[in-house]
Amino acid sequence: MKENKGMDRREFMKRTGATAAMLGLFPSVFNVARAQAKPTADQVIKGKDPRLIVHNTSTGVLETPLELLREHEITPKELLYVRNNQVLAGGKTLEPIPLKGWFIEIVGLVHRPAKIEATALKEFPQHEVTMVLQCSGNGRGFFAKYSKKTSGTQWKHGGMGQTVWKGPKLKDVLEKYKVEVYEPAAKFLTANGRDEPSGKKPDFEHSLPWTDPYVRENAILAIEMNGEPIPAVHGGPVRLIVPGYYGTMNVKWVGTLRFEAHETYNYNQIPRYRVPLYPVEPGKFSKKDYTFDNSRPNWHQKIKAVIFAPLDGEKVSAGLVRVKGVAFNDGVVPIEQVQVSTDMGKTWTTAALKPGKSTFEWTYFEAPLVLKKGEVEIWVRAVDKLGRAQPLDGGIHWNPSGYEWNGADRIKVTVS
Ligand SMILES: Nc1nc2c(c(=O)[nH]1)N[C@H]1C(S)=C(S)[C@@H](COP(=O)(O)O)O[C@H]1N2
Ligand SMILES: [Mo]
C-alpha cells in the first residue's frame, strides 16, 4: 500500500498563507495562523500526549521527556516514543488495526512457505514479555557534547520506554505450519513491514541473526502491547518483538518474514543502523565506508544507565539527595552494579538496585548522596554480570550516524 503523504499542518498553513497573500486576502489572519502552526505530538499522531517532544512531523518522530517517562513503570501508549522511518497508510494513530485480513508470509530458505492470517496467532500459547524498547539513536545528541555532532535526530534519553508485548513465539508458529527452516543455510531472519516509503527511498526492513538463540527462542509475533491490541503507530496488528534487541529490529506492521543466507543489502541494514567494529576517527569515517565486514548492525542493546532524578540542570537543596534512575542491557545477564560519582569519577558509591522480573526490564537504582552547596556533576554508570560496563566518556564510540550511545550519564545540578 502506498501512503498518501498529504501536507503536514505547517506546510498547509504556509501554502494557504502564501496563496492568500498572493490574492491579497486576509493576510493578517493567515500570518497569525502561521505563527501558531508548529504541531504538537497529538496533532502528529492521534492520541499521543501533547507534551511529547516533536522531532519530525511528516512520518512522526516523538520523544518522551524524562519527567514524564519516570512517572510510570510501564510507559503508557500515550507517552511512548515514536520512530517512524515511513508509515503504514492510516497508521498515525493509537487506534488498533484488525487482525482479520492481515496476512504474514514466511518465505525464503524454508521447506514449506506459509501464509498466515493474523487471526490464527490468537490460537497459539501466548507469551508475554516486559522489556525496554529503545531506539538505537537514543542519546545521539550526546555525541555532539562529548565528541562530534552526527547527523540524525538529536535524541536525548527519551527515545525509549518500558513496554509489555504478548503473542505467540515465532518458533511455535514455524513448528505448527511445518515451515522447516533450512539449516545451517538460513543464517538471517529478514522482516519487512507493510509500510512503504513515500518518496524514492528504499523500503524499511531489517535482518536479525537466526543463529542467535535470543532471536530463535524469544522472538514473538506480538499482537498485544500493554494488554491491548497494538496501537497502529506502534506496529499493530502484528509486530516482530525480539527482547534485548534495539527498537529498530522490532519491525512493525510485519508482512513478510524471509529466511536467508545473507543479511539484506537494504539501505536500512547497510549503511544505516550500523556501527563500526573498531574505533574510528570522528568525522573521518563516513557512512559510505561501511562494509559487512568492518561493521555490525544495531542488534543487542548496549548496557546503559539513565538518571531520572534529579534532572540535568535542576536546583536541589544541600544535604541528602537521592539519585534515582534505571539501568538495562540486552537482557543476556542481570545488571550487577550501578555506581554513582560526584567527584568526576575519582570515587564511586554503589547504588541499591531493584531489578525487574526479567532481565529485559529496567533495573531501578537509588543512591543516597550528601551534596554540598555549589555546582555538582553527578555521574552514573552500570556494570553487568558479564563485566560489561559503560565508558566514562561515551564519545569514544563515535560513529557517523550516532548510534548506540551508552556513555556514563553525567548531569549537572545546582545545590543551594
Ligand atoms: N515497519 C517499520 N518498523 C519499524 C520502523 C519503521 O519505520 N517501519 N522503525 C523502527 C525504529 S528505528 C524504531 S526505534 C522502532 C520504534 O518503535 P515505536 O515507534 O513503536 O516506538 O520501530 C522500528 N520498527
Ligand atoms: Mo530507531
Whichever domain contains 409, its CATH number is 2.60.40.650
For ligand 1, whether the C-beta of 63 sits within 6 Å is no
What is the side-by-side order of every strand in the sheet holding 188-193?
A: 114-117, 103-108, 254-260, 188-193, 205-209
- Is residue 333 domain-resident? yes
For atom 19 of ligand 1, the residue with the nearest CA is 82
- Is residue 285 domain-resident? yes
Q: Which of 257, 274, 297 is the last residue of a domain?
A: 297
Question: Same structural domain for residues 112 and 258?
Answer: yes
Q: Of 62, 83, 157, 230, which is best to mutate to test ligand 1, by the most ligand atoms within 8 angstroms of its C-beta?
A: 83
Residue with cell 517512524: 84
Residue 250 CA, ligand 1 centroid: distance in Å: 7
Residue 134 CA, ligand 2 centroid: distance in Å: 7
Q: Which of 297, 316, 334 is the last residue of a domain?
A: 297
User: Which ligand is located closest to the Cα atom of residue 81?
Assistant: 1
Question: Same structural domain for residues 221 and 362?
Answer: no
The CATH number of the domain holding residue 279 is 3.90.420.10
**Given this model, what pLDDT does residue 139 score?**
98
Question: Same structural domain for residues 203 and 290?
Answer: yes
Please give the grid coordinates belonging to residue 180: 522447516
Question: Same structural domain for residues 324 and 247?
Answer: no
* Direct distance between the N- and C-terminal alpha carbons of the chain, in angstroms, rounded to an integer: 58
Rounded Cα distance between 66 and 313, Å, is 13
For ligand 1, whether the C-beta of 138 sits within 6 Å is no
For ligand 1, whether the C-beta of 193 sits within 6 Å is yes
**Given this model, what pLDDT does residue 77 score?**
98
CA geometry: angle 172, 208, 179, nearest 5 deg:
35
For ligand 1, whether the C-beta of 206 sits within 6 Å is no
- Judged on CB neighbours under 10 Å (0-12, 13-18, 19+), 314 is middle
User: Which ligand is located closest to the Cα atom of residue 238?
Assistant: 1
Closest approach atom of ligand 1 to CA 136: 14
**Given this model, what pLDDT does residue 38 score?**
86
Question: Same structural domain for residues 253 and 326?
Answer: no
For atom 20 of ligand 1, the residue with the nearest CA is 234
Question: Same structural domain for residues 261 and 347?
Answer: no
CA geometry: angle 379, 382, 384, nearest 5 deg:
170
Rounded Cα distance between 315 and 385, Å, is 35
| Weakly modelled stretches of the chain, pLDDT under 50 | 1-27, 30
DSSP category for residue 102: -
Question: Same structural domain for residues 251 and 151?
Answer: yes
Question: Same structural domain for residues 359 and 242?
Answer: no
DSSP category for residue 173: H
Neighbours of 333 (CB within 10 A): 14
Closest approach atom of ligand 1 to CA 86: 7
User: Which ligand is located closest to the Cα atom of residue 204?
Assistant: 1
Q: Which of 257, 279, 297 is the last residue of a domain?
A: 297
Q: Are 156 and 410 in contact (CB under 8 A)?
A: no
For ligand 1, whether the C-beta of 247 sits within 6 Å is yes
Domain that holds residue 262: 103-297
Question: Same structural domain for residues 241 and 198?
Answer: yes
Question: Same structural domain for residues 287 and 329?
Answer: no
Question: Same structural domain for residues 116 and 151?
Answer: yes
Please give the grid coordinates belonging to residue 302: 548496549
CA geometry: angle 135, 141, 145, nearest 5 deg:
145
Q: Of 53, 84, 94, 234, which is best to mutate to test ligand 1, by the most ligand atoms within 8 angstroms of its C-beta?
A: 84
For atom 14 of ligand 1, the residue with the nearest CA is 135
Q: Are 232 and 239 in contact (CB under 8 A)?
A: no
- Cα Rg of the chain (Å, integer): 23
User: Which ligand is located closest to the Cα atom of residue 94?
Assistant: 1
Question: Same structural domain for residues 285 and 308?
Answer: no
Closest approach atom of ligand 1 to CA 191: 1
For ligand 1, whether the C-beta of 244 sits within 6 Å is no
- Taking CB atoms within 8 Å and a gap of at least 24, the contacts of 26-35 are none
**Given this model, what pLDDT does residue 199 score?**
85
3-state SS assignment for residue 192:
strand
Please give the grid coordinates belonging to residue 192: 519487512
Decide the pairing of beta strands 103-108 and 254-260: parallel
3-state SS assignment for residue 130:
strand
Residue with cell 518522530: 61
